[in-house]
């Protein structure tokens, strides 16, 4: 299973871009990179995922390096409500790809957005 | 909106009791999951199910069992609750296959006294 490495914590000023890095140097060719976040006392929330191309949605952008060994989640204009723990996850196949999979959550990055 | 609903937000049980945690999803998802979350340990997978009556052990299944009699409902059972099972329990669901996101419930904070 590909493992991920993230910084334990980061700070970001409100209104600035928050760039959250993730290393996944053992990722295999058919594994996706997922990002989730967990706001205090809530369940995790899906943000975005990608395979090798950069992705963007209404919440964030995901930049994956060409060798796929690392990625960066970008929150373009961070707000106080973006304060949360952010998890970078590589998909793990628990059974086979047609029947199911499970997400292995690590410790994540605790992002604090300050006024 | 996708909804994953856990039956209780907070629960207090006594040691040795049989405890049922219920989870219901309304999106016709094939996959359902139970995780527990503890400070410093992150989220750990207990069990997951990829179809009705199908289940697979996660990383920490000891002391737990699960039941999936209907597609929309996935139950976590603590046969004999112990204090080390005090934790936040999170249920999630997703479509079959590995390219779709999982949706989580709000969690059940279980305290075993």
Q: Which residues of A touch chain B, with CB atoms under 8 Å apart?
A: 32, 34, 41-46, 49, 91, 93-95, 97-108
- Would you place residue A8 in the very low, low, confident or very high pLDDT band (cuts 50, 70, 90)? very high
The pLDDT assigned to A98 comes to: 43
pLDDT of amino acid B2 = 66
Q: Would you call B97 an interface residue with chain A, using a CB distance cutoff of 8 Å?
A: yes
Q: In chain B, which residue's Cα lies nearest the Cα of A47? A: B101
* Full pLDDT tens readout for chain B, 113 residues: 669 999 999 999 999 999 999 999 999 999 999 999 998 888 899 999 988 989 989 889 999 999 999 999 999 999 999 999 999 999 999 887 656 788 999 999 999 99
Residues of B in contact with A103 (CB under 8 A): 33, 45, 92, 102
**Interstrand relation of B108-112 and B87-94 (parallel, antiparallel or unpaired):** antiparallel
Would an 8 Å CB–CB cutoff place B31 in contact with chain A?
Answer: yes
The pLDDT value given to residue B85: 98
pLDDT confidence of residue A99: 45
Contacts of B31 (CB under 8 A, 6+ apart): A100, A101, B48, B49, B50, B93, B94, B95, B96, B102
Q: Å from B70 to nearest chain A CA?
A: 17
> B12: exposed, middle or buried (C-beta count within 10 Å: 0-12, 13-18, 19+)?
exposed
Measure Cα distances from A36 to A51, B69, B74 in Å.
Answer: 15, 29, 22
Q: Does B47 touch chain A (CB under 8 A)?
A: no
Least Cα separation, residue B40 to chain A (angstroms): 7
Task: Report the SS3 class of residue B37.
Answer: strand
- Pairwise CA distance, residues B25 & B103, whole Å: 9
């Amino acid at each position: 299973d590909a493992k991920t490495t993230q910084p334990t914590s980061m700070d970001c000023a409100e209104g600035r871009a928050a760039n959250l890095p993730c290393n996944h140097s053992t990722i295999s060719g058919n594994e996706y990179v997922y990002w989730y976040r967990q706001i205090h006392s809530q369940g995790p929330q899906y943000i975005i995922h990608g395979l090798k191309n950069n992705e963007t949605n209404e919440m964030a952008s995901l930049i994956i390096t060409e060798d796929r060994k690392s990625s960066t989640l970008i929150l373009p204009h961070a707000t106080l409500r973006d304060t949360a723990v952010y998890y970078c996850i590589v998909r793990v196949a628990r059974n086979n790809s047609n029947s199911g999979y499970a997400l292995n959550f690590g410790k994540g990055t605790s992002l604090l957005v300050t006024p | 909106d996708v909804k994953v609903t856990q039956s209780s937000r907070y629960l207090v049980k006594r040691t040795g009791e049989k405890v049922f945690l219920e989870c219901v999803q309304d999106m016709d998802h094939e996959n359902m999951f139970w995780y527990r979350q503890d400070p410093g340990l992150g989220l750990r997978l207990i069990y997951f199910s990829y179809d009705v009556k199908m289940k697979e052990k996660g990383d920490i299944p000891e002391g737990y069992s699960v039941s999936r009699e209907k597609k929309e409902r996935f139950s976590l059972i603590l046969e004999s609750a112990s204090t080390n099972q005090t934790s936040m329990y999170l249920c999630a669901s997703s479509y079959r296959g590995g390219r779709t996101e999982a949706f989580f419930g709000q969690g059940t904070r279980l305290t075993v006294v």
